[in-house]
Structures are given as structure tokens and as C-alpha cells.
């Protein structure tokens, strides 16, 4: 079937739908809904059998939905309407939620129903799940199932969607207004649980407006903590960029904040001199027992398996985080474990921290510090030869985050993960030793295609081309437990010593053919031109990404954005 995915952004859910429907053999195009005329042109250009909208904030023009079947995937149960669906569900403590496929009509989210899925609202150990976790987890899984159901029904000439009838059995939702800051407001004197729910209902956008240390900010990324007694709203401690803020009955670590019209950054960075005298609370990343503050980077040992975890906000790694991760990795490889697991958080990794770079006094120089720090991390994984290294991709990964994982001996991913193994959309040629680790896995021809076409890769394709080795079942934390069992089985394999000997010999042979440092030098030579000379528009692309700039016209989002300088040195060296 010829399908047009019409979306407000080519986000993770849309990419997942795109990879799954392509795997099913359908012909897909993706266009951004930038304006009504642009939508009309997109539909006219593609002449689709079905217009599917996995993530759409704008209204579809009447002349389009009257002439074409346009189906919207709405993140709410039957009858739910409005753009703040998940926000309200978390704020009001809904125990069950859903996704509904609706045909577009004049009134948004009120069209005839093509199908629906429901699920229990997930809960974290310390409170309600973040909006981003709900969206990237059960909402995405339900939406993919519904997308397949809609496509099947679109191919059935006898199918007729059911009209939405208020008050009918099964219609459990209602029209909800757009949630505004007044709806999200809290006071720091409120109970911790109340504030936590408000903030998590606004992660990762738009955050909740409040005042910290006398500065008006929007806060994100809240985690319960313990603080000494004091006035609610005061900052009791800082830790690796997070700020511990006293509440009416406890405290919350606030990981990210931004000033109005600013860039989202670590909270302590935003507050700056306002918290200069606040004490710093530091737990050692390999300390036993519960952390006394946010532990983004940690190490633990389970028998013969060592586990390094880098749970970084949105998978972005700053230079400082890269330095800390390197120190933990060096500790891990010095242990007498047989297998080393490297795992990420909700998002595995997306490479350099574009927000930190954008906010720096000298963005290009900060980007350079950032990429060299990540390269150091990658080298540590590649050169670890007395342990078998497993990269566990439990969430989506992009750009340098994919290449980081490929430095491992085994790469496993959770079912439904989407990988974007390319850099060009950000105006970069890339580093992270990608010219070594990618071709050795998929071959030079496929490596060139992946980094030039700039297309998402689903787990089925990734497994087929050798980008990953295994797909393991289960959402987090079930995936983490499955990975640990997988690693323990590798550690217990009697053939492991022979595998490690072969690994050491292979690394030594590769080093004789072309030293690892040569790959790094060549890649960074190209990246220096990308970052300091801005030859492919890195500065504009970074700014647009950080500020979430909206495109005016819905051109194909899968078109390669820029051509490489024909005089540039080749970056694929094998």
C-alpha cells in the first residue's frame, strides 16, 4: 500500500511506525505538516492510498480529508480529545490510558473510530512515570499495533469506521483543554508527591514554571531526594548539575531547567552564581547501596558480569559526562569480571550534548571538547580485550550513540528500538571511530548507504544487516534483567577464553593494518572543519534542533539535507 505519513515532526514514534510498515512491505513517504497549502501539495505529490498521522498537532485541511482517507493516531482512549492528553492523564493519576485511531474530520480527535488500544499507566518505583516515558513506551507500542490495524482495514473495501457517540459504551474519554501553566502550577510548600506528579506530567516539554533561587525557570527531570531541614523552595545541595530543592515534606532533585526562551540545561548550570555557595553532594559511582542523589553514571558487579550504566537525559552526553563515564569505564575494565555490559537509559545515546554546546560562550569549541571526550569513551570500549563487551541498547539511539555501541563485541537491542546511524542531518561527518566500527560490522557498501541515506533503521533490519547481534524481549526493566542473564551465560561459556584470545589477536592485527588512532585523527580532521568552519551548516542545524524550530514547508523529511564537499577527504576508510 502507498502510505503518506503526515506529521508535525519525524519523532521517535513516527520513525518507529515508518520502520515497521516498511518492514511489512508498504511504500511510505514522510512529510511535515507545516502549512495547509504544504499539506495539499504533499498529498498531491504522493497520491497515497492512505494518509496516516502518527504525530500531528495541526488540523488537516477539509479538502484533503474529504478526498482522502486520513487517520490520526491520538494518544488517548476512545472519546478523549485535545492536545494535552497524556499531561492530564498523569496529573489526574489515571490508572489506564490508551491510543485511538480516528478518521480526520472538522473537529480534531472527534472523527469515526478505526481502532483503539488500552494499557495500564506505568508507574516508576518512586512515583508516576514521566510523560516522555509513557509516550516512548506504551503509547508507542499501542500506536504501532494500531497503525498495522489501520493499514489492514484500509485494504478492506467493506470496512466502515464507527462514529464517535458521546456516552456510548466504551467511550470513556472527554474533551480536555490544552493544559496551560496555571493548570501545572505548584508551590514548593506542597507535598513532594504532588510536585513530582506535576513536573513529570510536563517532561520533556513544556516543563513547569516556578522560581528557584530568585530566578524564574521551567523545571524538568524531577527525582525524590533527602535534604536537611529548611525553607521550601531553597536549594539544599547540587550534584553533577542537578539541584536538590526542599519541598513541604521532603525534597526533589531537579535535573534540568531553562529560563524563558532559553535552552534546557542542567539546573545548577542555569542557576549559576545563585547556587555558588550551595554544598555539593557526591556519591562515588561504584558505591554500594542506594544513591544519595542522581547517579547518571554507575558501575555494579553481579558475579562475573560488570555493568556500566550511563542514564543520561535524552541520551545526550556532555564533555563533563564523557569524562566521568571514562573514569567509570576504566574502573570497570580493571576488574576481574569476564563480561562487561554497557547500557544506557530510556534513550541509549544520541552522541554529543547539543544544548550544552549551543549555550556555551564558544559553541564550536565546546562541541570539540565534547566529541573528543566521547571518542575517549569509545576507545575504552574498543580496546577492552580481556573482557567480552556487550552493548545493551534498551532505547533509541542516534548518530554517535549508535557508533558508541558498535565498539562492543556483542550488540543487543530491545524489540522496537529505532537506530539512526548517521550524522549528516546535523551538518557533521562524524567521529566516535565510526569509520572503523561500522564497516567491520556491515561492510563498506552498507556503511556508506547508512551514513548517506540518513534513514532510521528498525531492529529487524539492523539484525539482518549485522548492525546488531540479537534482539531481546521485554520493556525496561525486564530488558535489563534479560541482558544480565544473557551476559551471565556468556561469562559461563567454557569457550570464553578462546573467544577472548581471538578478540585480542584480531585487535592486534587491526592495529598493524591501520592504528586505531589513525581513524580518530582522520575523523577529527573532518569534524574540525564541520565545527569550526561550519562547512555543512552545523551551527544552524544545532540551533534549529535545540530551539525546536518548526519547518515552514512539508518537504520530504527523508531527503538527504546536504551534499558532502567533493573536495573533502573521504571519511570512510577501510
359-418 residue pLDDT tens: 999 999 999 999 999 999 999 999 999 999 999 999 999 999 999 999 999 999 999 999
Extract the C-alpha cell encoding 453. Answer: 541515506
Q: Are 238 and 268 in contact (CB under 8 A)?
A: yes
d(CA 157, CA 44): 23
Q: What average pLDDT does the segment 294-314 reach?
A: 95
Residue 176 lies in a domain: no
Residue 554 lies in a domain: no
Identify the pLDDT of residue 172: 84
**pLDDT (tens digit, 9 = 90+) per residue, 160-214?**
999 988 878 888 888 999 999 999 999 999 999 999 999 999 998 999 999 999 9
Residue 215 lies in a domain: yes
Residue 541 lies in a domain: yes
Identify the pLDDT of residue 560: 39
Phi, psi values for residue 298, rounded to 5°: -150, 165
Q: Are 192 and 224 in contact (CB under 8 A)?
A: yes
Identify the pLDDT of residue 566: 37
Q: Angle 359-364-370 (CA atoms, 0-180°, nearest 5)?
A: 80
pLDDT of residue 316 exceeding 70:
yes
β-strand pairing of 96-103 with 70-74: antiparallel
Same-domain status, 333 and 194: no
Same-domain status, 407 and 522: yes
d(CA 372, CA 378): 10
CA dist 551 → 32, 33, 207, 354, 556 (Å): 8, 9, 23, 19, 11
The chain-wide mean pLDDT, for the chain, equals: 93
Residue 244's nearest CA partner among 263, 261, 226 is 226
**pLDDT (tens digit, 9 = 90+) per residue, 361-378?**
999 999 999 999 999 999
Task: Give the count of domains, the chain.
Answer: 3
Extract the C-alpha cell encoding 374. Answer: 566521547
Residue 514 lies in a domain: yes
pLDDT of residue 569 exceeding 60:
no
Q: Are 6 and 42 in contact (CB under 8 A)?
A: yes
Let me know how long the chain is: 574
Please, which residues have CB within 8 angstroms of residue 196's CB and are 6 or more apart in sequence? Answer: 126, 127, 128, 222, 224, 252
Q: What average pLDDT does the segment 546-568 reach?
A: 54
Tally Cβ neighbours within 10 Å of residue 493.
14
Q: How confident is the model at residue 58 (pLDDT cuts 50, 70, 90)?
A: confident
Q: What average pLDDT does the segment 18-39 reach?
A: 93
Identify the pLDDT of residue 304: 98
- Residue whose grid cell is 576488574: 335
CA dist 386 → 82, 300, 490, 500 (Å): 55, 18, 14, 6
Q: How confident is the model at residue 293 (pLDDT cuts 50, 70, 90)?
A: low
Q: What average pLDDT does the segment 280-286 reach?
A: 76
Identify the pLDDT of residue 557: 59
Q: What average pLDDT does the segment 6-11 reach?
A: 93
Output DSSP code: residue 79.
T
Q: For position 409, which CATH number holds?
A: 3.90.226.10
d(CA 27, CA 200): 37
Same-domain status, 132 and 40: yes
Helix ranges, 385-492 (H): 400-405, 434-442, 444-453, 459-465, 478-492
Same-domain status, 134 and 195: no
pLDDT of residue 556 exceeding 80:
no
Burial state string for 106-133 with b = 16 or more CB within 10 A and e = fewer than 16: eebbbbebbbbbebebeeeeebbbbbbb
d(CA 60, CA 53): 10
Domain interval for residue 503: 297-547
Identify the pLDDT of residue 551: 57
Residue 564 lies in a domain: no
DSSP 189-224: TS-HHHHHHHHHTTTTTT-EEEEETTEEEEEEEEEE
Same-domain status, 145 and 215: no
Residue 529 lies in a domain: yes
Q: Are 131 and 86 in contact (CB under 8 A)?
A: yes
Same-domain status, 144 and 221: no
pLDDT of residue 571 exceeding 50:
no
Output DSSP code: residue 258.
E
- The sheet carrying 297-302 orders its strands as 297-302, 305-310, 339-344, 388-393, 410-414, 470-472
Q: What average pLDDT does the segment 434-443 reach?
A: 98
Q: Are 438 and 408 in contact (CB under 8 A)?
A: no
Same-domain status, 258 and 374: no
Burial of 275 (0-12, 13-18, 19+ CB in 10 A): buried
Peptide bond into 532 cis (omega under 30): no
Same-domain status, 370 and 519: yes
pLDDT of residue 554 exceeding 80:
no
Same-domain status, 187 and 233: yes
Say what percent of the chain tops pLDDT 70.
Answer: 94
191-194: Cβ within 8 A, 24+ apart: 191/247, 191/248, 191/249, 191/250, 192/224, 192/247, 192/248, 192/249, 192/250, 192/251, 192/252, 193/127
What is the distance of C-alpha 255 from the center of its chain?
17
Q: For position 266, which CATH number holds?
A: 3.10.25.10
Same-domain status, 358 and 460: yes
Residue 561 lies in a domain: no
Identify the pLDDT of residue 204: 87
Same-domain status, 261 and 372: no
Q: Which residue has the higher pLDDT, 555 or 254?
A: 254
Q: What average pLDDT does the segment 86-107 reach?
A: 95
Q: What average pLDDT does the segment 20-47 reach?
A: 92
pLDDT of residue 550 exceeding 80:
no
Same-domain status, 316 and 407: yes
Q: What average pLDDT does the segment 273-292 reach?
A: 78
Amino acid at each position: 500500500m502507498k502510505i503518506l505519513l503526515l506529521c508535525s515532526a519525524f519523532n521517535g514514534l513516527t520513525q518507529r511506525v515508518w520502520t515497521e510498515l516498511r518492514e511489512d512491505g508498504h511504500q511510505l513517504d514522510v512529510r511535515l505538516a507545516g502549512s495547509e497549502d504544504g499539506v495539499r501539495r504533499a498529498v498531491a505529490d504522493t497520491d497515497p492510498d492512505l494518509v496516516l498521522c502518527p504525530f500531528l498537532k495541526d488540523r488537516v485541511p477539509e479538502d484533503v480529508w474529504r478526498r482522502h482517507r486520513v487517520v490520526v493516531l491520538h494518544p488517548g482512549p476512545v472519546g478523549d480529545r485535545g492536545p494535552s492528553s497524556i499531561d492530564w492523564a498523569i496529573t489526574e493519576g489515571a490508572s489506564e490510558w490508551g491510543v485511538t485511531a480516528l478518521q480526520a474530520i472538522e473537529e480534531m480527535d472527534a472523527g469515526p473510530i478505526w481502532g483503539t488500544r488500552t494499557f495500564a499507566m506505568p508507574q516508576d518505583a518512586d512515583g508516576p512515570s514521566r510523560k516522555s516515558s509513557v509516550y516512548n513506551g506504551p503509547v508507542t507500542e499501542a500506536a504501532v499495533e494500531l497503525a498495522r490495524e489501520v493499514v489492514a482495514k484500509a485494504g478492506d473495501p467493506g470496512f466502515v469506521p464507527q462514529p464517535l457517540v458521546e456516552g456510548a459504551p466504551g467511550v470513556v474519554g472527554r474533551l480536555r483543554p490544552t493544559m496551560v501553566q496555571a493548570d501545572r502550577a505548584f508551590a514548593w510548600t506542597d507535598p513532594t508527591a504532588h510536585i513530582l506528579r506535576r513536573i513529570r506530567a510536563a517532561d520533556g516539554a513544556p516543563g513547569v514554571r516556578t522560581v528557584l533561587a530568585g530566578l524564574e525557570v521551567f523545571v524538568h527531570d524531577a527525582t525524590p531526594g533527602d535534604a536537611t531541614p529548611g525553607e521550601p523552595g531553597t536549594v539544599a545541595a547540587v550534584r553533577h548539575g542537578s539541584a536538590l530543592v526542599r519541598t513541604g515534606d521532603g525534597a526533589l532533585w531537579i535535573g534540568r531547567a531553562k529560563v524563558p526562551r532559553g535552552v534546557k540545561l542542567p539546573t545548577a548550570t542555569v542557576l549559576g552564581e545563585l547556587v555558588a555557595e550551595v554544598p555539593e553532594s557526591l556519591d562515588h559511582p561504584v558505591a554500594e547501596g542506594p544513591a544519595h542523589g542522581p547517579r547518571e553514571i554507575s558501575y555494579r558487579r553481579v558475579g562475573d558480569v560488570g555493568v556500566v550504566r550511563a542514564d543520561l537525559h535524552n541520551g545526550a552526553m556532555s564533555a563533563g559526562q564523557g569524562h566521568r563515564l571514562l573514569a567509570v569505564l576504566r574502573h570497570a575494565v580493571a576488574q576481574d569480571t569476564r563480561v562487561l555490559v554497557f547500557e544506557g537509559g530510556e534513550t541509549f545515546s544520541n552522541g554529543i550534548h547539543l544544548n550544552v554546546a549551543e549555550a556555551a560562550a564558544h559553541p564550536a569549541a565546546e562541541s570539540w571538547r565534547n566529541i573528543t571526550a566521547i571518542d575517549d569513551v569509545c576507545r575504552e570500549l574498543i580496546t577492552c580485550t580481556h573482557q567480552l563487551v556487550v552493548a545493551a541498547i534498551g532505547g533509541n539511539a542516534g548518530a554517535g550513540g549508535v557508533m558508541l555501541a558498535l565498539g562492543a563485541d556483542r550488540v543487543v537491542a530491545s524489540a522496537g528500538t529505532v537506530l539512526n546511524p548517521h550524522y549528516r542531518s546535523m551538518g557533521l561527518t562524524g567521529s566516535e571511530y565510526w569509520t572503523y566500527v561500522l564497516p567491520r560490522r556491515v561492510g563498506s557498501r552498507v556503511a556508506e548507504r547508512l551514513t548517506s541515506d540518513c534513514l532510521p533503521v528498525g531492529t529487524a533490519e539492523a539484525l539482518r544487516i549485522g548492525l546488531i547481534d540479537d534482539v531481546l524481549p521485554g520493556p525496561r526493566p525486564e530488558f535489563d534483567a534479560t541482558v544480565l542473564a544473557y551476559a551471565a551465560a556468556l561469562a559461563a561459556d567454557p569457550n570464553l577464553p578462546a573467544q577472548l584470545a581471538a578478540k585480542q589477536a584480531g585487535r592486534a592485527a587491526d592495529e598493524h593494518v591501520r592504528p586505531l588512532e589513525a581513524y580518530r585523527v582522520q575523523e577529527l580532521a573532518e569534524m574540525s572543519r564541520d565545527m569550526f568552519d561550519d562547512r555543512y551548516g552545523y551551527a544552524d542545524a544545532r540551533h534549529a534542533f535545540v530551539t525546536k524550530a518548526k519547518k515552514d514547508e512539508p518537504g520530504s523529511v527523508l531527503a538527504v539535507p546536504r551534499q558532502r564537499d567533493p573536495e573533502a577527504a573521504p571519511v570512510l576508510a577501510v
